[in-house]
Structure 1
Amino acid sequence: MSALSSRNFDRRTALRAALGLAAAGGLAACGSNTGRGGGSGDGLVQYFHAYGEAGVEQAVKRYAKAYDKADVTTQWITGNNFEQKLFAALLTDNAPDVFEFHPQIQMVKSGQVADLTDIIDPVKDDFNPADIKSHTVDGKIYGVRMIDDPQFLFYRPSLFEKAKVEVPTTLEELIEAADKLTTSKVKGIFLGNDLTSVDRPLIWSAGADTLTADNKPAFNTDAVADGLKQLRGLFTSGNLLLDAPADSWDPSALIQGLTAIQWCGMWAMPAMQKALGDDIGIFPFPKVGSAGKQSVYNGGWSMFVNAKGKNVEAAKEYVKWLWIDQKKYQEDFATSYGFHIPPRTSLAESATKLKSGLPAEGVKLFNEFGHFDNIGWTQAMIAAFWDVIANTVRKDGDPKAALDACEKKVDAELKKLFG
C-alpha cells in the first residue's frame, strides 16, 4: 500500500473519483501509455500506483517478466492522482487489462470489473474471510486482495518515559498525552495533514460503523459527534503537528523528531526501525466514548480485471498465476519492501519476518482490533465524511449538523446503488 492509501489522495482527486468513472470522461487518457493498449492482442497492460518503498517497482516488473503466456507491460503511475489517471484511462482504448485499486461497489455495478469467483473459489478458504467479504457482491467475488495494510499510532517510548506518559487507550488519554509530549521542538501527535487518515478509525472506535449490514448509514451517532468535538480541541491546542513535509503514509515526521506520536501503516516499520532502532512502539486508535472500542484500520490493495477490456480471459489467467498460484512472489511482495500482511492465511502464518518484534505486535493488533473496507462505502461517501472532518475539526462547525448533512448525501448515494 505504502505511498497511497484509499484516503491519501488529494481532495480534488477524491471528489473527481467520487463522481464515479463517468465523470472522468472529459479527462485526457493517461500520458504514460506504451501506445499498445490492452486491446491490441499482443500483450497485457497492468496499472500500479507508485509505492513509496524502494524495490517495489522492480519486483512487480520482475514478476511480470517471469510470466511466459503473455507479454505484460507495467504502467507505474507516479504522483498523487493515481485514481484520476486510472479512471480516465479506463474510458479509453488504452485502458489497462489489469489494475490495482480498492473494492468499490460502483465499479461492480457499472460492469467495470470482472467476476473472479472461478479463479478464487478453489483457494477461498485460504484467504482471510474479511478480505473475501470486502470483495463480494451478490455472492460473486470481484478482485484478489494482494496485501493487507494495518494502520496504527506509532510512538517513541523514550519520549513517553521522559514525559511520564502511559500508552493511551481512550481519546481523552491520547489528547492529554499529546499535551504532555509537546515541547518547543516536538509536537505531541501527527494525524496526517488534513486528518482524513483517521476518518474510519474515529467511527469504529466510537462503537459505530460506516454502514449497517443492510447498507444504511451507521456513522451518525452522539459518540462520533463527541469524538469530532474532542479532535477539534486537539486541533486548536497547539499540540497537533500540521503541515508536515510529507503526509501520514510517510514515516518521516516521526523519524525526523517532529512528533512523538504518528498515525502511519505497518509498511513503514522497516524504515522506522532502521532510523530509530528499538525506540518505536504501536497502539490502536483509542476508544471514543464509553461504548467504544479501540480500532485498527486495515487498508491494502487488490488486483482487478477490466471487464470491458479485449483480453479478459488472458488477464484473468495472469491474475490467477501471479496472485493465486505464485505464493513465493506473494510473500516477497508482502514482506520484502516494507511490512504488509499476506491476505492468504497460510502465508501470513509462515511469513518469518512477521513472527517476532514489532511486526508480530502489528499482526496481533490487526487480528484483535482490525476493520476492513466495506465495498458499499464508496469514494463519494468517503468524500462526504471528509467534509465533516474539514467542517468540524479544522473549522468550528457543529458536529451533529455536519453528520446530518453527511447522512443525507450518503443516503442519496445508497439509493443510487441499491434502489
Structure 2
Amino acid sequence: MTISRRTLLTAGASAGLLTACGSNTGRDDDAGAGPKLSQWYHQYGEAGTEQAVERYAAAYKKAKIDVQWRPGNYDQQTAAALLTDSGPDVFEGSPTLDQIQGGQVIDLSDLLEDVRDDFNPAVLAPKTYDGKVWGVPQVIDMQLLYYRKSLLSDAGVEPPATLDALIDAAAKLTTKKVKGLFLGNDGGAGVLGGTPLYAAGLELVTDDGKVGFDDPAAARTLAKLHQLYTDESLLLGAPADWSDPSAFLQGLTAMQWSGLWALPQVQKELGDDFGVLPFPKDGSGAPAVPVGAYGAAVSARSRHQDTAKDFVRWLWVERTDYQEDFALSYGFHIPARISLAKKADKLKTGAAAEAVRFTGEHGYAQPLLWTPAAQTAYQDALSRIIKSGANPESELRTVVRKVSAELDRVKKKS
C-alpha cells in the first residue's frame, strides 16, 4: 500500500534515523521574488494531492517554494535530514519530543495567536510542549467501527455501546459464511494501540507525565480482546488488512474497524446499509476514537526561518480554502480547524457528520511524551496478550516499569 496519512494511526508508526536523505533541497537564493524554500511532504496515496500542494505553493508570492514529494520511509528520512544543513525548510510531520528538546524545530506558537482555540485540541495537544506549538495540524485522520445495519437487524443485534456488547454482538453475528468482527488480520494487535485503554477510562500518559494505565482496569479490558481473538467470531486472514474496507464490502464480516478514508467507498457500495461507531466503552470508561494529524513544522537549520514561518501561517492558518480542499478533495479527511469541519458540506450529514462528532467528543491522540520506546514496550505486550493469551497483569506490570523509566528519561531532558 502506498504511504498515506493513515500511517499516523497505526500503532507502530515512529520516526527513526536510518535512511539517508537526498541533497536536492532547493536551498538557494536565486528565486528572484524572495528566498527559495524547500517543503517536504510524504508520498500520499490519494490521486491529485501532489498537484494540489504544488498549486498551493505556486500561489505564495513571497518566496519560491520547492515542493518535494518524498517516497519511502518518510519519517526516518526527515529525522535524519533535520540533523544536517541539507534538509527541508518546511516539512510535513509530527515533531518528536527528542526533536523538540534537541532544538531541531522552531516554536510556531505565534502563528496561532488568534486561532489556537479553533484547532481540534486532540490533534493540537501532541504538537504542543512546554506550552508552545511546534507543528501546525493540517488534517485529521481517524479510525472508527463500521457495521452493516441489515446484518445486525436480521440477527436482532443492537449497535454495541460497550465492549462486552461488542463481544456478544460479534458472536451472534458469526455464521458459516460471515464473521462478526474484523479488527485486522492479527486480531487488532497491530492497530488498536491505546484505544482500549482510553475506552476503559484510562490513558497512555497523564497530564503530569506519569503512566496512565497503572490500574487493574487495563488488564481486565485487554483480557477481553484475547477473548475476542479466541472465540472464533473474529475474521482472521482476510485478503486485505484493516485499513482496506474490502472485507466489510464483500460481506466477509458484519463489523469492521477501519478509517474515515474508507467512508466514501463504503457509502458508494452500501448506500444507507451501514453505520459507524466509536470504539465502545468498557466499565466506567467512555467511547474512544484514535485521531492523528501530520502538521507543518519548520527546521531550526533553515536559513530563512521567518519566511518559512510566514509561509506556514499563510497556508495552514490564513488560506482556509486550501485547507478544506486538502482535507476533502483528494481522499476523505476532517479539517484540523473546528470551524472548517463544521461548515464543510461533505461533513454535515450521515456517517461523515457522526465521524466529526466522534472526534470532538471522544477523540484522542498519542501524547507527545509517548515515545517510540514506550510504544514498543506496550505494543509488544499487547500482541502477546491478544494473540498468545499472555497474562495481562504481569505483562502490564513490566510495561509500566519500562514506560515509567522512559518518562523519567525524557523529563530529565526538559
Q: Same fold (TM over 0.5)?
A: yes
| Aligned-CA RMSD value | 2.3
Separation in 1, partners of 2:273, 2:199: 26
Aligned pair partner of 2:376 in 383, 390, 411: 383
Amino acid at match of 2:263: M
Structure 1 position 190 matched with structure 2 position 182: yes
How far has the Cα of 1:156 moved from its partner?
1.2
Q: What residue number does 2:400 align with?
A: 407
Mapped contact 2:247–2:253 kept (Cα < 8 A):
yes
Amino acid at match of 2:120: N
Going from structure 1 to structure 2, the CA distance change for 1:339 and 1:193 (only over 3 Å counts) comes to same
Mapped contact 1:98–1:303 kept (Cα < 8 A):
yes
Q: What residue number does 1:37 align with?
A: 25
Moved more, 256-265 or 138-147: 256-265
Mapped contact 1:38–1:309 kept (Cα < 8 A):
no
Mapped contact 1:204–1:293 kept (Cα < 8 A):
yes
Separation in 1, partners of 2:62, 2:44: 26
Structure 1 position 157 matched with structure 2 position 136: no
Identity %: 46
Going from structure 1 to structure 2, the CA distance change for 1:250 and 1:57 (only over 3 Å counts) comes to farther
Mapped contact 1:5–1:299 kept (Cα < 8 A):
no
Separation in 1, partners of 2:258, 2:4: 9
How far has the Cα of 1:3 moved from its partner?
4.5
Q: What residue number does 1:287 align with?
A: 281
SS of the residue aligned with 2:254?
A: strand
Structure 1 position 95 matched with structure 2 position 97: no
Aligned pair partner of 1:320 in 275, 288, 313: 313
How far has the Cα of 1:216 moved from its partner?
0.4
Structure 1 position 252 matched with structure 2 position 246: yes
How far has the Cα of 1:313 moved from its partner?
2.4
How far has the Cα of 1:400 moved from its partner?
1.2
Amino acid at match of 1:225: A
Q: What residue number does 1:180 align with?
A: 172
Separation in 1, partners of 2:114, 2:395: 45
Mapped contact 2:184–2:241 kept (Cα < 8 A):
yes
> What is the TM-score normalised by the length of structure 2?
0.90
How far has the Cα of 1:64 moved from its partner?
1.8
Separation in 2, partners of 1:94, 1:39: 8
Q: What residue number does 2:33 align with?
A: none
Separation in 1, partners of 2:251, 2:298: 42
Q: What residue number does 2:212 align with?
A: 218
Separation in 2, partners of 1:133, 1:406: 24
Structure 1 position 116 matched with structure 2 position 108: yes
Q: What residue number does 1:4 align with?
A: 6
Aligned pair partner of 2:61 in 40, 65, 68: 68
Moved more, 366-375 or 354-363: 366-375
How far has the Cα of 1:86 moved from its partner?
2.4
Q: What residue number does 2:48 align with?
A: 55
Separation in 2, partners of 1:4, 1:149: 7
Alignment of 1:71-82 (within 5 A): 71-79=64-72, 81-82=73-74
Aligned pair partner of 1:142 in 111, 134, 141: 134
Separation in 1, partners of 2:67, 2:348: 32
Separation in 1, partners of 2:4, 2:154: 31
Deviations 1:73-118 (A, max 9, x none): 3333345x33223223333443222222235322211112210012
Separation in 2, partners of 1:40, 1:261: 53
> What is the TM-score normalised by the length of structure 1?
0.89
Q: What residue number does 1:85 align with?
A: 77
Mapped contact 1:206–1:292 kept (Cα < 8 A):
yes
- Segments of structure 1 that go 5 or more residues without pairing to the other structure are none
Q: What residue number does 1:357 align with?
A: 350
How far has the Cα of 1:134 moved from its partner?
3.3
SS of the residue aligned with 1:362?
A: helix
Amino acid at match of 2:385: T
